[in-house]
Amino acid sequence: MNHYAIAVIAGDGIGPEVMREGLRVLRTIEQLHGGIRFETSAFDWNCLHYQRHGVMMPKDGLEILQGFDAILLGAIGSPDVPDHISVWELILPIRRTFQQYVNLRPIKLLRGLVSPLREKGHDQLDFVVVRENTEGEYADMGGRLHSGTPYELAIQNSVFTRYGIERVVRYAYSLAATTGKRRLAAATKSNGINHSMPFWDEVVHELSRDYPQIETSLFHIDAMAAYFVNRPEQFDVVVASNLFGDILTDLGAAVVGGLGLAPSGNINPEKRYPSMFEPIHGSAPDIAGIGIANPIGQIWSISMMLDHLGHRELGRYLLDSIEAVLLQGQVRTPDIGGTATTQEMGEAVVRQLLTDA
């Protein structure tokens, strides 16, 4: 019997709603496999916790999480708590402390869905974005001066280290190599950001020599955004800095049908620390509490977790089941053109898992 300790942080807004369906799927996977147990522990670390206790998580929160094999996250954020508290005091410390320096985000048009870019086929819209997850533009360096005066100013520094760039770019190359992909595209903006981005480009060029079988190209981020829409078939693996990767993957999610579908893995490749799996969407206060959020992003993130834990065949099987439900087309949440609830969507995936078994 394989035992995995999984920390579950459902979070805020639609987070708990999509997590409920994710856990339903996880239980089904256990039942089907027979030899796997996921011992889940729920943590109520969210904005309500902040309002009650003045902190997003207890002081020893990270120590507690460190003992787990993986973390499943729903979404964090509430209109009542500023994002610089909720996101910065929970998600970012987890990503950094646990050296989840790779943020892996597939952009894949699932069978059963039609892209807003209708004429692109499923094989033309299937790539993965590797986003740097610990430094770059989201570095906590800077400050404010002369607050409340006409001289008021704010400075936010971007931080790029050779170590940080090398390890994420190397991960992207090895991902391409091990999955039989031919091309690596790096996002840059060295024409406008004239210190850090030329450095990023240099490191990419240096590493490209170690992977002669992979074709390397650099694209300015603005052009790349346009190519995501009009030439997505030219991408296999995209590697990008923290901010660029964040923006590109919301665009990527929109191109394959919407934010509710897209998953994300915050990965510590060395497995020294737990990795964290979550949908890329936030807590969606505009639709929270009415049970219509799409749980597929959350459920797909469980497929990525299974891959990461070494159960690739189960991860693949879960993704196939999601696609089978979409192909049948009867059960769809409103964001993808149906009337199903979050729960109905989760149950449909569970039924499919059991049917194909």
CB 80 within 8 A of CB 47: yes
**Out of 61, 136, 164, 260, the residue judged to bind ligand NAI by CB under 6 A:** 260
Core vs surface per residue 195-224: b (16+ CB within 10 A) or e: ebbebbbebbeebbeebeebebebbebeeb
Residue 197 beta carbon to Mg ion: minimum distance, rounded to whole angstroms: 20
Report the residue number, 56 or 165, with the smaller CB distance to ligand NAI: 56
How many helical (H) and strand (E) elements, i.e. helices and strands, does the chain have?
A: 12, 12
Q: Which does 348 bind (CB under 5 to 8 A by kind): Mg ion, ligand NAI, none?
A: none
**CA 58, 104, 286: angle at the middle one, nearest 5?**
65
Q: Which does 324 bind (CB under 5 to 8 A by kind): Mg ion, ligand NAI, none?
A: none
Report the residue number, 246 or 347, with the smaller CB distance to Mg ion: 246
Residue 108 beta carbon to ligand NAI: minimum distance, rounded to whole angstroms: 17
Give 206's Cβ-side CA count (13 Å radius).
12
CA-nearest of 17, 40, 76, 33 to 317 is: 33
Applying CB under 6 A, does 80 fall inside the site for ligand NAI?
no
Residue 90 beta carbon to ligand NAI: minimum distance, rounded to whole angstroms: 8
**Out of 246, 307, 344, 347, the residue judged to bind Mg ion by CB under 5 A:** 246
Number of residues that bind ligand NAI (CB under 6 A): 22
Applying CB under 5 A, does 137 fall inside the site for Mg ion?
no
Report the residue number, 17 or 246, with the smaller CB distance to Mg ion: 246
Judged by CB under 5 A, the stretch of 17-25, 179-187, 238-246, 324-332 that binds Mg ion is 238-246
Residue type at position 113: L
Helix (H, G, I), strand (E, B) or coil at 174: helix
**Out of 23, 91, 253, 331, the residue judged to bind ligand NAI by CB under 6 A:** 91
**Out of 134, 275, 294, 341, the residue judged to bind ligand NAI by CB under 6 A:** 294
Core vs surface per residue 264-295: b (16+ CB within 10 A) or e: bbbbbbeeebbbbbbbbbbbbeebbeeebbbb
Residue 17 beta carbon to ligand NAI: minimum distance, rounded to whole angstroms: 8
What Å distances lie between residue 341 and 134, 283, 321, 332, 353, CA to CA?
35, 17, 18, 8, 19
Q: Interface with Mg ion by CB under 5 A: which residues? A: 246
Q: Interface with ligand NAI by CB under 6 A: which residues? A: 14, 18, 75-77, 83, 87, 91, 259-260, 278, 281-287, 293-294, 297, 335
